Structure 1
Amino acid sequence: MKNSIRTQTGVPLPLGSTILPLGINFALFSRHAHSVSLVLNFPHHRDDYIEIPLDPQVHKTGDIWHIMLSGVPEDLHYGYRISGPYEPGITGHLYDSQHILLDPYAKEILSANWGGPRNFLGYEPCCLLDTHSYDWEGDKPLNIPLQDTIIYELHVRGFTFHPTAKVRHPGTYKGIIEKIPYLQQLGITAVELMPVTEFDENETTFINPETKKRLKNFWGYSPLSFFAPKSSYSSDLHAPLNEFRDMVKALHSAGIEVILDIVFNHTAEGGADGPTSSFRGIDNTIYYLLDADKRNYLNYSGCGNTCNCNHPIVRSLIMDALRWWVIEMHVDGFRFDLASILGRDGNGNVLTNPPVVERIAEDPVLAHTKIIAEAWDAAGLYQVGHFSPHHRWAEWNGRFRDDVRAFMCGRLGMVPALATRIAGSSDLYQRHNHRPCNSINFITSHDGFTLTDLVSYNVKHNLLNGENNRDGDNNNLSWNSGIEGSTRNPHILRLRARRLRTMTTILFLSQGVPMLVAGDEFGRSQMGNNNAWCQDNEISWLDWSLLKKRQGQLRFFQKLIKLRKNHHVFRRDTFFQSGNTGIEEDSCSLEIRWQSLYPGKQDWSHECRTLAYLLNGAVLEQTDDDFFVMLNGSPNESARFIVPAATRNRIWKQIIDTSRPSPHDFVDLQLADTVEYNQTVSVPAMGCIVLQSQSIRGKTI
């Protein structure tokens, strides 16, 4: 094989490996390397590795090393061996020619079945060429407006790996395809996939104290690559690119967008004692933030290292990766993990206008993609409401999560904050031409309690993570409703169900973009584990048998999602201009009218636990029905609300009562009971009742 290989100078761009008419071009950036060799392996030949040194006088342009090969099969594996200074504590360079490094631009990486050994990382050529053509069959981005979006966060493996999922390809991209009818019936408009770029699930050293078995990095927030889809999420290890594309195309055909949870803030190489697989051995001082002594990594990610995101080289890598996912994989958007790290400079200082953040928002290729920031990092930088002045950036609204949870725990002083969250968090987003949809509203996510656990546990139960319950957040803003964990007490179960439905109602009837985490709609529990990152078992896998046991809860979610999608009054594109200032007027022109127990009388006091509001559908450009929502945050006392008049001489119908069992918790408008103006409505503790207006003739807008 070695004798048949022909070499040419090659070209410096594009970076990575590219199949061209004259051969295969390889291009790698490394500014401080003394020498670079391309290392090849041919899996269907018995030859040993072939190393081809790159002559810097021939195969280097600026800081880019490049070469073109012909006479080689396209199923080759490749990597790089790089030598240079090893000077921790002096220059910070960490070159070590013992390692065979991954190409940062590789589109596919040699993998194994989930859980299989990955000992070859860093020691064998592991990069593969993208040799697969693909027919998109006319697939185009859906471009669903952000304000009309409903996000469903899921884990590719956890979503369908449990036997009760009853899919032919559990834990894979194909498994998601098989569940598309379910997603359509639920009514969501976008799936947000937890990390799908290559990672090593075997990297963790923690041990389950009960089974004594080594735990896995189940979540995958530890990227080996910013490009390559995880092969073990594919039913065919040899075709992960096309199986991912099949999934995207099928979801688009069903009207569902694909958002990727992408990690640019750190890599799998970890801290100084971590493995060397790519960036560290290519140009450590450029790809990572180092301390002043050039010995240790600045660790704003909590994962051992921090990427130098605003260095021009790293910035270009990030942009190239994002464009590739949009152009070649047709994804519709991105959620940026620990996005506040994108705002730090080479010394870790917070920038006023970070170049990479602005570049993402202004990039013409990404112009119609959804960009969502997790607007904090692990070092305490919290930027919710002010991550970026650019109008395109949406944010995970952690304030929404915390304020709703606190109100639904019965905490005092939460009514003003809850009203602000329901109205779209204008205190955070009414600036820089932002809109209510810049707020991604959520109560639960992959990180923390599930919705069922939120009403069932006071404290985390993470002993099985092998860290003696030290890991995970201690500030859960949860309440177990009277008994910790599982119970058969009917009173406790009714209270939990009521609280769960009330929080769900707040989520879907608030201004902003709602996000739910997979399984919350049918009562999934993690048994009190609020940090299940390492649990590749029933703690993290969705138990689909709950669908039958919790049909009523699923129905409630489906009905709420449908209600939101059918009524523009919940999906405003602008903030309320009246009725949200705390000064109430008796005027039909008000867009929202707040009250406590009596119409026209608000109570923003610290002791108050009741809140009600009327959404005026008459003032919208697209006229809608009115809605009157009553919330009682008391943990043990009912509240009696006086119902105001609906607009346009309409009548009220009671469609939601979260204290009632299914199917009476959500009743279709035509079958709902009439509620008279000035009537007293009793809302049980932790309950919610929703009225919808109807014309006297029985016709709705």
Structure 2
Amino acid sequence: MRFPTRLMRGASAPLGATWDGQGVNFAVFSANAQRIDLCVFDPSGRREVARFELPERTDEVWHGYLPDARPGLLYGYRAYGPYEPLRGHRFNPHKLLIDPYARALHGTLSWSDSLFGYRVNSPRADLSIDRRDSAPAMPKSVVANDAFNWGDDRLPRVPWERTVIMEAHLRGLSMRRGDLLSVERGTFQALSDPRLIDHLLRLGITTLELMPVHAFVRDRFLLERGLTNYWGYNTLAFFAPHAGYLAEGSPHEIRTAVRRLHAAGIEVILDVVYNHTCEGSELGPTLCYRGLDNAVYYRLVPEDERHLINDTGCGNTLNLSHPRVLQMVMDSLRHWALDYHIDGFRFDLCSTLGRESYGFDPFCGFFDVLRQDPVLSTRKLIAEPWDPGPGGYQLGNHPPGFAEWNDRYRDTVRRFWRGDALMRGDLAARLSGSADVFDRRGRHPWASINFITSHDGFTLTDVVSYDRKHNDANGEDGQDGHSENFSTGWGAEGPTDDPAIRAVRDRVRRAMLATLFLSQGTPMLLAGDEFGQTQGGNNNAYCQDNPTTWLDWPLAATHAGHALTAYVARLAALRAAHPSVRGRNYLYGKRETRPGLLDIAWYGPEGHPMTPDAWNDDHGRILGLLRSCADDGGGADTTYLLMNAGDADADCILPPVPGKWTLLLDSTDPGRTATLSDRLAHWTVGAHGVVLLGFTPDARHAKETVDA
């Protein structure tokens, strides 16, 4: 196209690059810049072909209009202003900046010292200034057109109490799928494949939670080690997808995948990182936010504005207390919710987002704006309720409407099945939805995201195979990753041919899975745990983009993999079929569902209700849980869960209730057929085993259901 000599005035809203059919409006926020230039590049992104000064500034938004410009145009910004690090200002017009609202990026970041606003290795460090042009090393922003034919797409809107989440890494999910084209593996096109969707459906997964898919940067120090940022918690652009996840480069691949998952009734949740950016500390590169207005976009140390507050452990913290930064985050969320039909979001280090200058506040601006938003308040919202900053552990303190990753559930379940003493009391709380943590302000059991494993830590197979982490491949001398994993190898470290050890590991793994699916709260399964995925004992595989982290689909095709997958599918089906298992409301044993039958009761192996002495018994490894809830037919669904974390089989006396028990599950013998017994008095629970029994009352008692 032929370019004019100057831009037209344009408009200050919306922010970003907006095509109206006749040209493109550019609008970018900066409170402290003195001038901002728009740089236009040729289609290759290598040559700057035009530069315009944004002609207008309205309410601290710089804007201009380029007539005849079209989608696909490549551009970037240069911001002029004071370079005064001691006052928090780091303007450097020699550095090309991406648009914070860019909806697509062209090219990849090529690490170079020119990307830094200061002279790397200068004795004055970041107080120096670097005047080299960074454009050759920078990706370019792309003017995008989000039009897409969604047809009859509808959000599945799965009720929280019926939600079963799988956490997955988009690339790792399909890299070892031999039945896919190589160009599709690791991309959204693979996620669209019916065979992958069928696998999720067989497992009873209702909601797929994807690790970060926003455009992110691969850390320089990792690339120098021959590694890479695999997890993606290093965001460069909050509106643009990561180009490596698009087989043909089109964002419509994401929309197609979402539409097909929705057609199958499966929701899509994105793991989003709004607590920090990839620009790191004051010694990091100048790529976007730092160059546009470092003193606004980031929280600065009040007494020393040269330095950034590092509540995230990643070098910087986004300043969500500023209205324009908060607006950017909300605009990004709405973009993904409306333009990509995303069903919800999991907020990485959510305590950071809820922290004002004085500390964490559940009534802070971020939570208030999010909860009243007519779009975002209707999506599933999940918090990672901690960060490394002061007072950062906030489990249970997020506002209503949020679910939270419950690490207390993870640790308790691991410790109970490892055989630790005095775990029955805490396990009881976790099985019943962690009411001690979440039952406040009208919240429900689904607020507890129950998980035993996640991307951060061991896989389930590794939890039962290793006493300690094995992270040597990360190149950090084993200093990274958690040291206390509440795991055990049951007599060996790692793989073993010992049949006895392998048998115990299999039993404990099945028991843990049963615990996860048979607890109140929202279960979250780590992708691959359904067929025995291992990372070789690496509990911090953030930099391993290789078969260490890619799902081992050949393993899934083995007899053992098929059997475990079928077992997980059965657990999900049991959960869906029994309201007493998934429990929408907290149960406190204060309401009868039938005469003499409370909604929840705890028993020891002798068939007696648990007493304080029993709860405090160091040697107690057996726990019985009776739950009874209203079902859809107006009656009551009653189940009895028996758990034996001991090394020997245990004969357990059943509660004295009038009726029949049906065997629904025996984790030590998954293939065992259901049996029906009248007036059954006891049941043998195998070592490291879980048994679930269903209850059918006598005909006389069946008519005596108490009105809920």
Query: Above 0.5 in TM-score?
Result: yes
Aligned match of 2:104: 108
> Quick one: distance in 2 between partners of 1:88 and 1:644?
71
Aligned match of 1:84: 81
Q: Per-residue displacement from partner, 1:105-129 (whole Å, max 9, x unpaired)?
A: 11111135xxx95769752461001
Q: Per-residue displacement from partner, 1:363-403 (whole Å, max 9, x unpaired)?
A: 11113100010000023635444332x32111111111111
8 Å contact from structure 2 (residues 30, 293) kept in 1: yes
- With 177-186 and 241-250 compared, the bigger mean Cα shift is at 177-186
Q: Per-residue displacement from partner, 1:5-41 (whole Å, max 9, x unpaired)?
A: 6631000000000011442000000010011100111
> Quick one: distance in 1 between partners of 2:110 and 2:89?
29
| Partner SS for 1:520 | coil
Aligned match of 1:566: 577
Q: CA deviation at 1:132?
A: 4.8
| Partner SS for 1:367 | helix
Aligned ranges for residues 168-567 of structure 1 at < 5 Å? 169-178=184-193, 179-201=196-218, 203-205=220-222, 214-237=226-249, 239=250, 241-291=251-301, 292-345=303-356, 347=357, 349-351=359-361, 353-379=363-389, 381-388=391-398, 390-549=399-558, 550-567=561-578
Q: CA deviation at 1:654?
A: 2.0
- With 503-512 and 353-362 compared, the bigger mean Cα shift is at 353-362
- With 228-237 and 130-139 compared, the bigger mean Cα shift is at 130-139
| Partner SS for 1:440 | strand
Q: Does the alignment pair 1:651 with 2:668?
A: no
> Quick one: distance in 1 between partners of 2:297 and 2:507?
50
Output the amino acid matched with 1:71: D
8 Å contact from structure 1 (residues 589, 619) kept in 2: no
> Quick one: distance in 2 between partners of 1:33 and 1:526?
48
Q: CA deviation at 1:252?
A: 0.2
Aligned match of 1:600: 608
| Partner SS for 1:408 | helix
Q: CA deviation at 1:477?
A: 1.0
Q: Per-residue displacement from partner, 1:662-696 (whole Å, max 9, x unpaired)?
A: 533xx4xxxx1335646332323321122122467
> Quick one: distance in 2 between partners of 1:128 and 1:180?
31
Output the amino acid matched with 1:196: V
8 Å contact from structure 1 (residues 642, 678) kept in 2: no
| Partner SS for 2:27 | strand
Output the amino acid matched with 1:180: I
Aligned identity (percent) is: 38
Q: CA deviation at 1:487?
A: 0.5
- With 257-266 and 1-10 compared, the bigger mean Cα shift is at 1-10
Query: Alpha carbon RMSD of aligned pairs, Å?
Result: 2.4
Q: Does the alignment pair 1:18 with 2:18?
A: yes
Q: Per-residue displacement from partner, 1:259-279 (whole Å, max 9, x unpaired)?
A: 000000000001122111100
Q: CA deviation at 1:225?
A: 1.1
Output the amino acid matched with 1:177: S
Q: CA deviation at 1:255?
A: 0.3
> Quick one: distance in 1 between partners of 2:169 and 2:71?
32
8 Å contact from structure 1 (residues 420, 426) kept in 2: yes
| Partner SS for 1:171 | coil
User: Structure 1 residues 174 and 185 mapped into 2: Cα distance closer, same or farther (>3 Å)?
Assistant: same
> Quick one: distance in 2 between partners of 1:412 and 1:167?
51
8 Å contact from structure 2 (residues 386, 395) kept in 1: no
Aligned ranges for residues 55-204 of structure 1 at < 5 Å? 55=55, 59-89=56-86, 91-112=87-108, 117=110, 123=135, 124=138, 126-164=140-178, 166-167=180-181, 169-178=184-193, 179-201=196-218, 203-204=220-221
User: Structure 1 residues 692 and 281 mapped into 2: Cα distance closer, same or farther (>3 Å)?
Assistant: same
8 Å contact from structure 1 (residues 593, 615) kept in 2: yes
User: Structure 1 residues 162 and 297 mapped into 2: Cα distance closer, same or farther (>3 Å)?
Assistant: same
User: Structure 1 residues 557 and 295 mapped into 2: Cα distance closer, same or farther (>3 Å)?
Assistant: same
| Partner SS for 2:305 | coil
User: Structure 1 residues 28 and 93 mapped into 2: Cα distance closer, same or farther (>3 Å)?
Assistant: same
Aligned match of 1:627: 639
| Partner SS for 2:19 | strand
TM-score, length of structure 2 as denominator length: 0.90
Aligned match of 1:50: 50
Aligned ranges for residues 19-38 of structure 1 at < 5 Å? 19-38=19-38
Aligned match of 2:684: 682
> Quick one: distance in 1 between partners of 2:478 and 2:139?
39
Q: CA deviation at 1:244?
A: 0.5
User: Structure 1 residues 4 and 314 mapped into 2: Cα distance closer, same or farther (>3 Å)?
Assistant: closer
Q: CA deviation at 1:619?
A: 7.8
Q: CA deviation at 1:249?
A: 0.4
Q: CA deviation at 1:644?
A: 1.9
Structure 2 regions of 5+ residues with no counterpart? 116-133, 704-708
8 Å contact from structure 2 (residues 396, 404) kept in 1: no
Q: CA deviation at 1:75?
A: 2.0
| Partner SS for 1:226 | strand
TM-score, length of structure 1 as denominator length: 0.91
Q: Per-residue displacement from partner, 1:199-221 (whole Å, max 9, x unpaired)?
A: 123544366xxxxx510100000
8 Å contact from structure 2 (residues 312, 388) kept in 1: yes
Structure 1 regions of 5+ residues with no counterpart? 208-212
Q: 2:623 aligns with which of 611, 616, 622?
A: 611
8 Å contact from structure 1 (residues 645, 678) kept in 2: no
- With 282-291 and 42-51 compared, the bigger mean Cα shift is at 42-51
> Quick one: distance in 2 between partners of 1:111 and 1:424?
47
8 Å contact from structure 1 (residues 165, 543) kept in 2: no
Output the amino acid matched with 1:17: A
Q: CA deviation at 1:571?
A: 2.4
Q: Which one has the bigger strand percentage?
A: 2
| Partner SS for 1:403 | helix
Q: Per-residue displacement from partner, 1:410-444 (whole Å, max 9, x unpaired)?
A: 11111111001101111011110001011111111
Q: CA deviation at 1:620?
A: 7.9
Q: Per-residue displacement from partner, 1:162-206 (whole Å, max 9, x unpaired)?
A: 254645610000111111111111110010000000012354436
Q: CA deviation at 1:599?
A: 2.3
> Quick one: distance in 2 between partners of 1:144 and 1:163?
28
| Partner SS for 1:232 | helix
Q: CA deviation at 1:637?
A: 3.2
8 Å contact from structure 1 (residues 591, 619) kept in 2: no
8 Å contact from structure 1 (residues 310, 343) kept in 2: no
